[in-house]
Amino acid sequence: MFEQIESLYGIERKVFKEMCVYMLGKELYVASREACDLANRLRYRNEGVGIMLGRSVMGRFKLTTNAIQLFGRYATKRVVEIDARQAIEFAAGGIIKTECKDEGYVIVRCGSDYLGCGYYRGNGEVESLVPKKRRLILQKDGGD
């Protein structure tokens, strides 16, 4: 999977050097080393260690929005730049009119803000793949 992350997005393996990267079913996760060690020693079933990096969808590695917000800045390929107004639409789950040379999964950013994962079909539109529950809801409060 590392090979795919590197060849598709240009995110090098050494970015995760200090961390523990592991597979769970078809999904790839990242956590601190100590959290992984502890999970192995713990006799309770855990409900999750670290966060999901991504998974392979029909042979293509798709990074999660959460992973892109953390590690997107290390990417050198498949990065699409959008403007500030579009960033809000993207965060809310919209479709953004923009050109892109790569088809498939892309990393969407606005300046230094790495927003999340998008999909480019080659028709001048990047579709936001931010999960429904994760989207920006303009009227909603942020909780505690």
**Under the rule (CB under 8 A), what is the footprint of other proteins?**
18-19, 30-32, 34-35, 37-39, 41-52, 66, 69-70, 87-88, 91, 113, 115, 133-144
CB of 38 to other proteins, least distance (A): 5
Can you tell me the distance from the alpha carbon of 106 to that of 116, in angstroms, rounded to the nearest whole number? 8
Instruction: Kindly tell me which of 42 and 57 has the beta carbon lying closer to other proteins.
Output: 42
Which amino acid would we find at residue 61?
A: F
Can you tell me the distance from the alpha carbon of 141 to that of 144, in angstroms, rounded to the nearest whole number? 9
Q: Provide CB contacts within 8 A for 21, sequence distance 6+.
A: 2, 28, 29, 30, 53
Instruction: Kindly tell me which of 66 and 98 has the beta carbon lying closer to other proteins.
Output: 66
Instruction: Kindly tell me which of 102 and 127 has the beta carbon lying closer to other proteins.
Output: 127
CB of 120 to other proteins, least distance (A): 21
CB of 111 to other proteins, least distance (A): 11
Q: Are the C-beta atoms of 80 and 98 separated by less than 8 Å?
A: yes
Can you tell me the distance from the alpha carbon of 36 to that of 41, in angstroms, rounded to the nearest whole number? 9
Instruction: Kindly tell me which of 14 and 133 has the beta carbon lying closer to other proteins.
Output: 133
| β-pair type (60-63, 79-81) | unpaired
Q: Determine phi and psi for 51, rounding to 5 degrees.
A: -125, 160
CB of 110 to other proteins, least distance (A): 8
